[in-house]
Amino acid sequence: MLARLATTVLLAAVWLNASADDHQHDHHSMHLAASQAWSRAMPPTAPTGAVYFTLRNPGDTADRLVGVKTPRAEKAELHAHVHDGDLMRMEHVEGVDVPAGGEVQFKPGGYHVMLFNLSEPLVAGDRFPLTLIFRDGGEVQTEVTIRDQAPEGDTGAAHSHH
């Protein structure tokens, strides 16, 4: 009888610990948010596009954006513009750090999401889902609005294609 009680207490402790870990994970991902997500309208034959947004982490734990996915493209990747001497070029990045209590701007001339092999053209006024994948915070979904022009206040240079 005592062995059965000890086993029950042990199993309950393991279950409570696992539940607490799950709750902390879910709570952390709720803090991460993308806002003002947009993509520039492209000609119907364009095979690529780019997405921009503001990523906020009001929580007290830093995280890292490690991937993206969308049904609008066969492949989506994190990219950045980097200075190479007097030139600027785009390159794939493995992840983007999001500081605790901070934000990261994804904008023309900086970080952005590249969309490859679009499933349909990027037409102004359309919307599509984008899923952001974080190292610790799980997945966060946002909606991207396709626009003819950058929103007011977005001062980055026009995006050219790879």
What domains appear along the chain, each with residue ranges and CATH number?
Answer: 32-147 (2.60.40.1890)
Answering whether pTM is above 0.85, one says: no
40-56 pLDDT, tens digit per residue, is: 999 999 999 999 999 99
Whether 91 shows a pLDDT value over 90: the answer reads: yes
Q: Which residues pair with 69 in a beta bridge?
A: 131
Residue 30 has a pLDDT of 56
Q: Is 136 left (phi over 0), alpha (psi -120 to 50) or beta?
A: alpha
Instruction: Classify residue 156 as exposed, middle or buried by CB count within 10 Å of its CB (0-12, 13-18, 19+).
Output: middle
